Structure 1
Amino acid sequence: MPSPRKEALADIHYRVEPSDLHAHIFRVTLTIARPAAQQEVALPVWIPGSYLVREFSKNLQGLEARQGKQPVKLTQCDKHRWQADCDTRKPLVLSYAVCAYDTSVRTSWLDASRGFFNGTSLCLRVEGQEKRKHTLDIASTTATAGWSVATGLSPLKTDKKGFGLYAAATYDELVDCPVEMGSFWIGRFTACGVPHRFVVAGAAPSFDGKRLLEDTRKICETAIRFWHGDGDKPPFKNYLFMLNAVGDGYGGLEHRNSTALICGRRDLPRSGEARPQEGYTTLLGLISHEYFHTWNVKRLRPSEFAEYDYTRENYTAMLWFFEGFTSYYDDLLLRRAGLIDDAAYLKLITKTVNQVLQTPGRAVQTVAQASFDAWVKYYRQDENTPNATVSYYTKGSLVALCLDLALRREGRTTLDDVMRALWQRSAGGPMSEADLRTVLKDLAGRALDEELDHWVHSTAELPLAELLAAQGVALKDEKPQLAQQLGLRVAENHSVHIKTVLRGSPAERAGMNAGDEWLGVEVQGQGWRITKLDDVSFYTGSHTSLEALVARDGRLLRLPVQLPGLPPDTTSTKGRRHTGTSLAAADTVSLGISDAAALKRWLG
């Protein structure tokens, strides 16, 4: 490939080469055309959209600097920042290697079959010059001769495979456009006049790309029309989906005109398959979620994120809105796009409701506090996480559901109108909770401060049963699964490994600990080996008292367990309609249609 013309290079220019595929090494060269006298460079410690300090600099090695043929002294200032003692009249060239050994969507990966990187994990930030134009040269090697490149960056001079020179207006734009490299499948479609690309790495031969493109197109058109009706164009000229299909995995990360996704290979649609697997619906929900983020968090975003600080945690108490409300709309837009029916949609809501109900931490931490603590709690989960915190994704989506249903019941507006009004009010930019409260008052004709205080800033239960009933949906108590009855989260692999013991549960009262291996049970003097949790029910039958044989730290312990006293025939409790205004009465529920006409007014 011909070398890029020098006049096309920006003042801040990066060259990224997949240098050693088997060692997972990217080689990076950074050229600063006009450096400061004591020019500082720094690698971010986190990536926007994933609220954890990830210390990307741990993968950086061999940093050197020169001007012409002369080496330049580098002084390391802290864990991720360096200072160059340089001449301001000459370009400063830094070279270094990055070990790319993370298959997630958040950092970088390189091996003999695929490369992927986010700029936050590869591209040193030039202090004081972040607002200048940046260019990125993605270099090909003999080892990557059969590869292609996909990225949301604007191409300046590239070959037919996508290798070559790309432009970014700022450092923020550069690191907000991840790069996919390899021999991937690629498809294209147009949504509301906007070109979209979809690349998939790692798909099996049975993969039905045509179906994925058609279903994704429906999601995109539904989202664009949600925000802009049939008139205005979305805030991007093109869009790119990058999906890595693996043996087992799930996740996504939103960007300004692209998203990086990961899913299980078996969750992709298959050729000749009349009815897709449940995992495919989950994948479509992920696609919907990350695409909705293009508006809600990438542009309409917390006021604290008006300017990202890449050097430390960026705190906000608003993730319940930006992640939670997006989680509400991701499945709702699947319903509006005709990709699932009412029953399937209610099943998805049921799953979310039960996830929240079965989290004791909802009585400990508000969803606003959970947002602020994401850096140390949600992204650093351990055996006590369900007891100490609540997910701003799941409870935040239920707050959105409550707000939408409350507005619809009063008949003056909907949450759809509120979201669009917030977009207009903020000009598609930073917003605060005060903006939300103002828009709600303007559109609803009354302040909803009491509701927000109750649902967001307290640990009180949400009035879902009452609000759902008004939309033709009945909420019913159900008999919980055995794990929930016991208060356990387990892994089953030839024995039962206890991962979490829920607060106030029979398992906690018995003295079970996270990390225990549950080996067997003794009932009325008879001992039985168990390999999965269902064995407990099989061997105890109608008995509610047993002894659990567990292994802990090399010791065998006998722990007395008292099971909940549910009668053998649970028809008197299972399916009982929940008539209260909160959800505190049960930790497992189901949703059913009680008034089809009312439901259609909501979902139709």
Structure 2
Amino acid sequence: MIRYRLDVADAHAHLFRVTLTIAEPAVEQGLSLPVWIPGSYLVREFARHLSQLEARQGTRAVRLVQHDKSSWVAHCEGRGALTVSYSVYAFDTSVRAAYLDASRGFFNGTSVFLRVQGREAEPQQLVLGTLPRGWQVATALPAVGACFEAADFDELVDHPVELGRFWRGSFQAAGVTHEFVVAGALPGFDGERLLADSRRICETQIAFWHGTPGRGSGKPPFQRYLFLLNAVEDGYGGLEHRASTALIANRRDLPRTGMKAASEGYATLLGLISHEYFHTWNVKRLRPAEFARYDYTRENYTELLWFFEGFTSYYDDLLLLRAGLIDVPRYLKLLARSINNVRATPGRAVQSVAQASFDAWVKYYRPDENTVNATVSYYALGSLVGLALDLTLRGEGRGSLDEVMRGLWARSGAAAARAEGRPAVRGAGGGPIDEADIAAVLQEVGGRSYEAELASWVHGSADLPLEPLLEGLGIVWQEETATLAQRLGARVTDAGGQLKLQAVMRGGAAEKAGLAAGDELLALDGWRIRKLDDLAALGAFERPLPLLAARDQRLLELSLPNAQVHGPVALSVDAQAPAEALVRRAGWLANGA
């Protein structure tokens, strides 16, 4: 048994103290802290927050030698238990690391627990030391007496822990207890509304994967589930785990007592809940073959994030619609936003979504002023690949992407059972897959090969044929007037009366004029400009006009060319669509059939 004890050492200094006890250590016992957390594909160097490492066997000090940035070797004598203690600075308010102050604590195991090399497969035990008065504990880790226990290191670090004073409530979905914990909510927060809406999300997704009770297995692959939500002044994000998720959201987006229709902010929060819950199946269990075993010491590369993140992004809002939490016009508005985000990314013609998946470690999580020109979001474009495949299958009358997802779940589960020498269980699934598995199940469902589509849409950089696919299901595609930012070909801020460029799009009017990120636009055609609307008032883009800009305290005399560009897309329902299209549209939007 590997045993960890975590104490709140100094809340005002944001310090946890961790004590690790290893029975019968190796003579040269290796220890290391993960450099990344699964689900967030960036090397984050958590070890930079460790300090005051000490090691002992009984009363004898043990020499602890640092091997590299995140690993150490303890030089032991005999087989007596090794105790290693260290401090962890915890002041990261995100869902990825650890946080501690006088009112709240939170941690992911990857940020605080040294991995005992060679002993990762052994049971791991967590003991929480004395906590500040009135603090509660929330985690999905199984409790055994006064301890929490995990089967191995992977399970230990896949269960975040929330500490402090928080609101908590629960509901049943498919006979399984789901608990919600909310820290930082404003007075007037409607917890019952959040529970009721989350229950509808969970029931819809369990039915998606397993069928409803009595018509399929109906049971999710966990015994209980926990949502951990940190409500803050300004923040948004989530990180999936096998039986829980950590969420962060603007506290003003939480439902308020007396609120009738869901606000835009609350709908966004529900979409986040839907996204992270869907990951319970798609990436935590059904997962890339490269993630069959995590390597916590380095980047773990895969080209399949377009599927695991992108298809999850496709289904998060669609399943809100099917759960009755948003209506069709709102769903189509959200879908159009995704389409417009991709269309506004020149990088989609430079890098395929498979390449973007592989390069997540150096591109997606490290954006700069050229990111929009160099790569594309595997979330956004991946979701549209899912849409294109779904509508193609439905348009051909051969099934749906829903059936593909369930087919992959069953296929991977059967393969995992064979590999482990155990009988497959009906309804059980989840295991490593690769792109060949995706192609095979697509062919099983669709009755033909979809290799051409995968080659073009996933490994190529051509635009997806979304307009005809949507129109085939009775959805009207209408291109609206381009915005000023689109016509300028730049991302712009105009705070404080200064019109500054954040990014310049490849091939746009701003780039052709010679502008660069960081430039300030001062005057057009001899007139001072202070906000983007001034460009329209002065007739920009209708003919070339003289432009005065500033860069690094120097004035630039340029010419802003005219520009004709595509505007944003708006989607709506075609009430006069053919009957066959109406049936397929209803199956897509209403129930997935």
TM-score by length of structure 2 reads 0.93
Cα shift at 1:539: 4.1
Q: Which runs of 5 or more structure 2 residues have no equivalent in the other structure?
A: 414-429
Whether the 8 Å CA contact 1:549–1:559 is kept in 2: the answer is yes
CA distance, structure 1, for counterparts of residue 540 and residue 437 of structure 2: 56
CA distance, structure 2, for counterparts of residue 468 and residue 253 of structure 1: 31
Query: Match for residue 310 of structure 1?
Result: 296
Q: Map of 1:494-573 to 2, 5 A cutoff? A: 494=496, 495-518=498-521, 520-523=522-525, 525=526, 527-530=527-530, 532-540=531-539, 544-564=543-563
Structure 1 residues 546 and 185: alpha-carbon distance in aligned structure 2, compared to 1, 3 A threshold: farther
CA distance, structure 1, for counterparts of residue 71 and residue 249 of structure 2: 35
Whether the 8 Å CA contact 2:363–2:371 is kept in 1: the answer is yes
CA distance, structure 1, for counterparts of residue 298 and residue 203 of structure 2: 37
Structure 1 residues 452 and 29: alpha-carbon distance in aligned structure 2, compared to 1, 3 A threshold: same
TM-score by length of structure 1 reads 0.91
Q: Map of 1:180-219 to 2, 5 A cutoff? A: 180-219=162-201
2:405 is the alignment partner of 1:419: yes
Question: Secondary structure of the residue that 1:77 maps to in structure 2?
Answer: strand
CA distance, structure 2, for counterparts of residue 538 and residue 103 of structure 1: 43
Q: Which amino acid in structure 2 is aligned with residue 533 of structure 1?
A: L
2:103 is the alignment partner of 1:113: yes
Question: Secondary structure of the residue that 2:399 maps to in structure 1?
Answer: coil
Whether the 8 Å CA contact 2:16–2:87 is kept in 1: the answer is yes
Cα shift at 1:446: 1.0
Whether the 8 Å CA contact 1:368–1:457 is kept in 2: the answer is yes
Question: Secondary structure of the residue that 2:407 maps to in structure 1?
Answer: helix
Query: Match for residue 166 of structure 1?
Result: 148
Q: Map of 1:310-389 to 2, 5 A cutoff? A: 310-389=296-375
2:8 is the alignment partner of 1:18: yes
1:221-246 CA-to-partner distances (Å, cap 9, x unmatched) read 00000000024211100000011111
Q: Map of 1:247-262 to 2, 5 A cutoff? A: 247-262=233-248
CA distance, structure 1, for counterparts of residue 402 and residue 448 of structure 2: 17
1:186-224 CA-to-partner distances (Å, cap 9, x unmatched) read 111111110011111111112111111111100000000
CA distance, structure 2, for counterparts of residue 451 and residue 104 of structure 1: 37
Q: Which amino acid in structure 1 is aligned with residue 399 of structure 2?
A: T
CA distance, structure 1, for counterparts of residue 263 and residue 490 of structure 2: 28
Cα shift at 1:353: 0.4
Cα shift at 1:367: 0.4
Question: Secondary structure of the residue that 2:38 maps to in structure 1?
Answer: coil
Question: Secondary structure of the residue that 2:558 maps to in structure 1?
Answer: strand
2:387 alignment partner, one of 379, 401, 410: 401
Q: Map of 1:253-292 to 2, 5 A cutoff? A: 253-292=239-278
Structure 1 residues 213 and 561: alpha-carbon distance in aligned structure 2, compared to 1, 3 A threshold: same
Query: Match for residue 488 of structure 1?
Result: 490
Structure 1 residues 182 and 517: alpha-carbon distance in aligned structure 2, compared to 1, 3 A threshold: farther
CA distance, structure 1, for counterparts of residue 102 and residue 538 of structure 2: 50
Whether the 8 Å CA contact 1:239–1:258 is kept in 2: the answer is yes
Question: Secondary structure of the residue that 1:447 maps to in structure 2?
Answer: coil
1:127 alignment partner, one of 117, 120, 127: 117
1:492-530 CA-to-partner distances (Å, cap 9, x unmatched) read 321223211000010111111112233x3232x3x2240
Question: Secondary structure of the residue that 1:166 maps to in structure 2?
Answer: strand
CA distance, structure 2, for counterparts of residue 338 and residue 145 of structure 1: 42
Whether the 8 Å CA contact 2:487–2:564 is kept in 1: the answer is no
Whether the 8 Å CA contact 2:182–2:229 is kept in 1: the answer is yes
Cα shift at 1:491: 2.7
CA distance, structure 2, for counterparts of residue 155 and residue 180 of structure 1: 15
Aligned residues: 563
Query: Match for residue 588 of structure 2?
Result: 602
Structure 1 residues 358 and 98: alpha-carbon distance in aligned structure 2, compared to 1, 3 A threshold: same
Question: Secondary structure of the residue that 2:145 maps to in structure 1?
Answer: strand
Query: Match for residue 425 of structure 2?
Result: none
Q: Map of 1:59-98 to 2, 5 A cutoff? A: 59-98=49-88
Whether the 8 Å CA contact 2:35–2:45 is kept in 1: the answer is yes
Whether the 8 Å CA contact 2:483–2:567 is kept in 1: the answer is no
- Aligned identity (percent) is 60
Cα shift at 1:536: 2.5
Whether the 8 Å CA contact 1:109–1:115 is kept in 2: the answer is yes
Whether the 8 Å CA contact 1:404–1:415 is kept in 2: the answer is yes
CA distance, structure 2, for counterparts of residue 505 and residue 90 of structure 1: 68
Deviates more, 1:540-549 or 1:297-306: 540-549
Q: Which amino acid in structure 1 is aligned with residue 470 of structure 2?
A: L
Aligned residues: CA RMSD: 1.4
Whether the 8 Å CA contact 1:57–1:79 is kept in 2: the answer is yes
Deviates more, 1:126-135 or 1:472-481: 472-481
Question: Secondary structure of the residue that 1:187 maps to in structure 2?
Answer: strand
Structure 1 residues 542 and 85: alpha-carbon distance in aligned structure 2, compared to 1, 3 A threshold: closer
Whether the 8 Å CA contact 2:7–2:129 is kept in 1: the answer is yes
Structure 1 residues 57 and 560: alpha-carbon distance in aligned structure 2, compared to 1, 3 A threshold: same
CA distance, structure 1, for counterparts of residue 460 and residue 312 of structure 2: 21
CA distance, structure 2, for counterparts of residue 548 and residue 370 of structure 1: 36
Cα shift at 1:601: 3.4
Cα shift at 1:439: 1.0
Cα shift at 1:558: 3.2
Query: Match for residue 575 of structure 1?
Result: none
Query: Match for residue 578 of structure 1?
Result: none
CA distance, structure 2, for counterparts of residue 398 and residue 462 of structure 1: 8
Question: Secondary structure of the residue that 1:198 maps to in structure 2?
Answer: strand
Structure 1 residues 273 and 539: alpha-carbon distance in aligned structure 2, compared to 1, 3 A threshold: farther
CA distance, structure 2, for counterparts of residue 251 and residue 481 of structure 1: 28
Whether the 8 Å CA contact 2:541–2:562 is kept in 1: the answer is no
Cα shift at 1:540: 3.9
Cα shift at 1:277: 1.7
Whether the 8 Å CA contact 1:546–1:562 is kept in 2: the answer is yes
Question: Secondary structure of the residue that 2:51 maps to in structure 1?
Answer: strand
Structure 1 residues 544 and 265: alpha-carbon distance in aligned structure 2, compared to 1, 3 A threshold: farther
Whether the 8 Å CA contact 2:541–2:563 is kept in 1: the answer is no
2:150 is the alignment partner of 1:148: no
Question: Secondary structure of the residue that 1:443 maps to in structure 2?
Answer: helix
1:432 alignment partner, one of 431, 434, 437: 434
CA distance, structure 2, for counterparts of residue 289 and residue 171 of structure 1: 26
Whether the 8 Å CA contact 1:270–1:276 is kept in 2: the answer is no
2:145 is the alignment partner of 1:157: yes
Query: Match for residue 422 of structure 2?
Result: none
1:136 alignment partner, one of 126, 151, 154: 126
